């Protein structure tokens, strides 16, 4: 997954590689040039050196060392030892400045790469979420989805993308330093390479269970977020039933379990630095012992100054190895979060556009539900069974029945929130699966029992989903929906914020904003899902007036609990246990003395 997201930033990656290589070379060169010059400067070496031309047959190593000695002798002879030491110091300062500047440049290259990858991951998750079918959200907890979007993505940033710099820089440093070590003494370097796998194995034994423990900790974090989301959504019920202490104990139990898991993860992760520090010291001591043995026994061409240089470079090699060990701890921890994010990213969406979609036009004749059978899961029971219904253009069809009869499920099939297992829905004789989903839903307007508003202004809530809506159009829609007067009574009129889910206004006002939104969309087909069932009498009257204006000259499917609101429907269908058991007009159904009559009589009590 990360490879896919990192590819657009390959230019930054190549820049970081270049500057890391430059930094490594400058680091090696500064040490290589400093050691022989100081050796000669302080009189350890009494030999006299002659300049060797670059075109000579002498090896590159011997030529560079000889010429550095030669120039140092010349400077001491002309300027004195003190001034030469100052020049050497200035040279070291300049080389160190270039080295650190290169390091900063490489780190600067990684910043837009890291932040860009995380931004793209978050955008992709959000895009995926809004395109997933409704069935996905009925199976997943919202708090868990929020935790994956926040905590898991943050863990990816901290653990994996935070290790990218190490993964880019350290291989270059290791290759450069190992090359110098081989060039300096192949015997010592082979000894080092033999020991190093044993030290790496000791580190890997600590890392093995980190990913599994991190996955458990992230799952518990998702549970915490789910509980928080449930608490915020059910605060009224919690207070009404004085269940505050019960909810607090439940949350504290989860936080205690999360703490226990995090302790195990963080303790294991915290072992990275001390263990790598200890093993690095072991490596240095072993190499120091073996190198000293070679020098004392005269079994190697390496001398004491060169051995000091070798140890300096070897010590420089230890830090990249430590960073690798740190990345070895961080990356498994982050991979647990990648797995959880992938559960969203790889979720299948069975509701897809056809490969060759047909063009859709406003309804000309009818919508037909033909032999519809539907269930939410493959092994679940049928919610709808063999339902047949025809909705003519301009008609108002009402669906009534007890809760759980399948009314909302039936209307949800028309905009393809779900697809049927058996049967088909025909739009002017064409199966709705042959249209683009966007085009199909563009012809349908919804007004639901729960008027969903966003934490935004009245204007933006009414204009939601309608491109380039003007203020005049929004005001006209609000007037038709009986919403203009109460909007203008607020402090900033149409620019007033309605609060989270419209919490700053009443239920009837929220519903009228929802109706105004549908009016502005001007849909060809209107779905009303118990739009007035939760309102008081005065609000219901205002909303019903707005609905009647909205329903004029439109094809309407209305779900209703209050039968008084659908008396004038062209046809009323009574659903019972997923089947249409009665259909007809209000008076005709009363005359049947069946299900509809019993519903009507109960509401008269």
The predicted-structure confidence for 255-311, as pLDDT tens digits, reads as follows 888 788 878 777 776 776 677 677 777 777 887 787 777 777 766 566 666 777 777
What b/e sequence results for 83-116 when a residue is b if at least 16 CB atoms lie within 10 Å of its CB, and e otherwise?
ebbeebeeeeeebeebbeebbebbeebbeebbeb
- In contact, 566 and 556? CB cutoff 8 Å: no
User: Region 462-486: what's the mean pLDDT?
Assistant: 87
71-81: per-residue pLDDT in tens? 777 777 787 77
Residue 371 has pLDDT above 90, yes or no: yes
Query: How confident is the model at residue 586, as a pLDDT?
Result: 87
45-56: per-residue pLDDT in tens? 566 777 777 666
- In contact, 527 and 557? CB cutoff 8 Å: yes
- Phi, psi dihedrals of residue 304, rounded to the nearest 5°: -60, -50
425 vs 110: which has the higher pLDDT: 425
Residue 340 has pLDDT above 90, yes or no: no
Query: How confident is the model at residue 428, as a pLDDT?
Result: 92
C-alpha pair distances (Å), 332 with each of 112, 205, 366? 23, 13, 57
Distance CA 123, CA 129 (A): 10
Does the pTM surpass 0.85? The reply is: no
Residue 499 has pLDDT above 70, yes or no: yes
Residue 207 has pLDDT above 60, yes or no: no
Distance CA 40, CA 34 (A): 10
C-alpha pair distances (Å), 153 with each of 69, 339, 342, 499? 55, 11, 11, 28
Q: Is the dihedral of CA 309, 312, 315, 321 positive or negative?
A: negative
Residue 554 has pLDDT above 60, yes or no: yes
CA angle 546–552–554, rounded 5-degree value: 115
- In contact, 532 and 371? CB cutoff 8 Å: no
Query: How confident is the model at residue 536, as a pLDDT?
Result: 61
Query: How confident is the model at residue 37, as a pLDDT?
Result: 59
CA angle 344–261–334, rounded 5-degree value: 40
Beta bridge partners of 390: 368
Percent of the chain with pLDDT over 90: 10
Query: How confident is the model at residue 573, as a pLDDT?
Result: 92
Query: Which residues neighbour 27 within 8 Å (Cβ) at sequence distance 6 or greater?
Result: 99, 316
Query: Which residues neighbour 530 within 8 Å (Cβ) at sequence distance 6 or greater?
Result: 448, 449, 559, 560, 561
CA angle 241–245–249, rounded 5-degree value: 130
19-42: per-residue pLDDT in tens? 888 887 787 777 666 665 556 555
373-393: per-residue pLDDT in tens? 998 877 778 889 999 999 999
Query: How confident is the model at residue 540, as a pLDDT?
Result: 65
Place 199 in a pLDDT band, splitting at 50, 70 and 90.
Answer: low
Place 210 in a pLDDT band, splitting at 50, 70 and 90.
Answer: low
Query: Which residues neighbour 107 within 8 Å (Cβ) at sequence distance 6 or greater?
Result: 16, 165
91-111: per-residue pLDDT in tens? 778 888 888 888 888 888 888
Q: Which residue has the tokens 């419209």?
A: 502
Chain-centre distance for alpha carbon 199: 36
């Amino acid at each position: 997954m990360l490879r896919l997201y990192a590819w657009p930033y390959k230019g930054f990656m190549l820049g970081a590689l270049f500057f890391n290589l430059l930094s490594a070379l400058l680091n090696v060169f500064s040490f290589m040039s400093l050691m022989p010059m100081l050796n000669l400067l302080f009189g350890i070496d009494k030999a006299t050196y002659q300049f060797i031309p670059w075109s000579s047959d002498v090896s590159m190593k011997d030529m560079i060392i000889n010429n550095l000695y030669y120039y140092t002798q010349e400077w001491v002879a002309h300027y004195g030892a003190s001034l030469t030491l100052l020049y050497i110091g200035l040279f070291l300062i300049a080389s160190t400045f270039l080295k650190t500047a290169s390091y900063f440049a490489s780190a600067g290259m990684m910043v837009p790469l890291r932040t860009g990858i995380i931004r793209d991951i978050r955008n992709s998750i959000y895009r995926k979420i809004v395109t997933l079918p409704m069935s996905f959200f009925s199976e997943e907890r919202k708090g868990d989805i929020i935790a994956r979007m926040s905590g898991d993505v943050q863990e990816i940033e901290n653990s994996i993308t935070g290790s990218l710099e190490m993964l880019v820089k350290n291989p270059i440093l290791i290759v450069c330093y190992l090359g110098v070590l081989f060039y300096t003494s192949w015997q010592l370097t082979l000894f080092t390479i033999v020991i190093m796998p044993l030290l790496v194995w000791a580190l890997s034994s600590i890392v093995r269970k980190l990913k599994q423990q991190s996955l458990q900790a992230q799952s518990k974090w998702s549970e915490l977020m789910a509980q928080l989301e449930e608490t915020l959504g059910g605060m009224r019920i919690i207070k009404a039933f004085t269940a505050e202490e019960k909810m607090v104990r439940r949350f504290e139990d989860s936080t205690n379990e999360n703490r226990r898991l995090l302790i195990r993860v963080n303790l294991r992760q915290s072992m990275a630095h001390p263990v790598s520090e200890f093993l690095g010291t072991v490596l240095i001591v072993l190499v120091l012992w073996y190198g000293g043995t070679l020098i004392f026994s005269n079994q190697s061409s390496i001398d004491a100054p060169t051995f000091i240089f070798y140890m300096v470079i070897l010590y420089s090699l230890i830090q990249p190895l430590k960073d690798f060990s740190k990345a070895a701890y961080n990356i498994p921890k982050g991979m647990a979060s990648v797995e959880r994010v992938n559960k969203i990213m790889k979720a299948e969406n069975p509701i897809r556009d056809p490969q060759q979609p047909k063009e859709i036009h406003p309804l000309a004749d009818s919508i037909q539900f033909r032999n519809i059978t539907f269930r939410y899961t493959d092994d679940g029971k049928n919610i709808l069974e063999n339902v047949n219904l025809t909705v003519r253009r301009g008609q108002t069809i009402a669906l009534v029945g007890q809760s759980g009869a399948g009314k909302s499920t039936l209307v949800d099939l028309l905009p393809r929130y779900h697809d049927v297992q058996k049967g088909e829905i025909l739009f002017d004789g064409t199966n709705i699966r042959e249209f683009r989903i966007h085009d199909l839903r563009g012809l349908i307007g919804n007004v639901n029992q729960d008027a969903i508003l966003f934490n935004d202004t009245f204007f933006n809530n009414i204009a939601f989903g309608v491109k380039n809506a003007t203020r005049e159009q929004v005001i006209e829609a609000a007037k038709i929906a009986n919403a203009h007067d109460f909007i203008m009574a607020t402090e900033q009129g149409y620019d007033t914020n309605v609060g989270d889910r419209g919490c700053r206004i009443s239920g009837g006002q929220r519903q009228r904003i929802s109706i105004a939104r549908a009016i502005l969309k001007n849909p060809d087909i209107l779905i009303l899902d118990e739009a007035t069932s939760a309102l008081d009498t005065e609000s219901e009257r205002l909303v019903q007036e707005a609905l009647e204006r909205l329903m004029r000259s439109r094809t309407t499917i209305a779900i209703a609990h209050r039968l008084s609101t659908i008396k004038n429907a062209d046809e009323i269908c009574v659903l019972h246990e997923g089947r249409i058991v009665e259909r007809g007009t209000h008076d005709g159904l009363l005359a049947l003395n069946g299900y509809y009559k019993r519903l009507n009589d109960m509401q008269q009590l």
